[in-house]
Every structure is written in C-alpha cells, then in structure tokens.
Amino acid sequence: MTDPTPAHDIEAVFHQKGIPFTRQRRQIWEFFAGADRAATITEAADALRSDGVGQATVYRTVQLLSDLGLLARVQDGRGDICYIAPPIGHSHPLICGVCRRVVRFDGEGDLTELELQLAEATGFTVYGHHLEVYGICPSCRAQKEGDHGE
C-alpha cells in the first residue's frame, strides 16, 4: 500500500489556488488521509464533531477537497458515496463493498492495450483513465461464510 499524500503537498495545492488551508480543513483532510477505508461525509462529520468541526463545514470542505483532486469519490456495495485520499502516481483503489477497506495497487501499464484499441477505433488521443475495482475483502468473505457454516 502506498502512503497518502503528505500534508505539506496538500498545503501547497491550497496555496497555489490562493485558498487558505485552515485548521478545520486540515483536520478534515487528515481524517480521510488517515483512514484505511472509504468514509461517507456523514461519518467524517460524526468523527470530527468532538473536535468542534460542524457538519456544514465538513460538507463544504469535502466538496472543495474533491474539486481540488485531493479526495476521490467512490461507492460502497450499497451505492453510498464515500471518499478516499487520492491515488499516488499510477495506482488504483480496490475497495471492499462491505466494509469499504481500501487497498491500492500499482496500475502501470494496466489498460495500455484497451487504450490503444480505443484510440484506433475512435480516433481519440487517449491520455489517461480512471479506474476503481470493487470486491469483498477476505475478512468480510470469511464472516459471510461463517454465517452460513456455523
């Protein structure tokens, strides 16, 4: 697994855009960056309430971070919208649809063939892709099998 983007890089993105990187924005970013699974805005708001961060601030900041490309939007198995820290370099997230655990894998060269085929078929110049893979992690699978077995 790759480490999430360090906070000073995030700060640089804010500075570049002329947006203040406030303490609350940092707290919200740190919540997602430190999480090993995808979280909904509501969960972030619940977790940050004791730090005095209001729900409206969490909503606005998640939107902002997402617009700046500092959070990636994914869905869990029930279709709930969740957020994760974005991939570093060419990596993609594999997300457990049950517990939302996120594992990142190296995607170097993964879709080269498909991109070439598409370029040929459509005449597009293809310069990238966005990929999320969904599944059920081993511990959720074990739990499910346990439900049936015992």
Contact set with Zn ion (CB under 5 A): 96, 98-99, 101, 107, 110, 137, 140
> What's the min distance (Å) between Cβ of 78 and Zn ion?
13
> What's the min distance (Å) between Cβ of 130 and Zn ion?
8
Nearer to Zn ion, 62 or 96 (CB): 96
Which residue's Cβ has the minimum distance to Zn ion? 107
Q: Is 11 exposed, middle or buried (0-12, 13-18, 19+ CB in 10 A)?
A: middle
> What's the min distance (Å) between Cβ of 112 and Zn ion?
9
Nearer to Zn ion, 55 or 75 (CB): 75
Distance, in Å, from the CA atom of 147 to the CA atom of 30, rounded to the nearest integer, reads: 35
Amino acid letter at 108? E
> What's the min distance (Å) between Cβ of 124 and Zn ion?
17
Nearer to Zn ion, 73 or 144 (CB): 144
Q: Half-sphere exposure of 35 toward its Cβ, with a 13 Å CA cutoff?
A: 26
Distance, in Å, from the CA atom of 77 to the CA atom of 54, rounded to the nearest integer, reads: 28
Distance, in Å, from the CA atom of 76 to the CA atom of 121, rounded to the nearest integer, reads: 33
Nearer to Zn ion, 25 or 104 (CB): 104
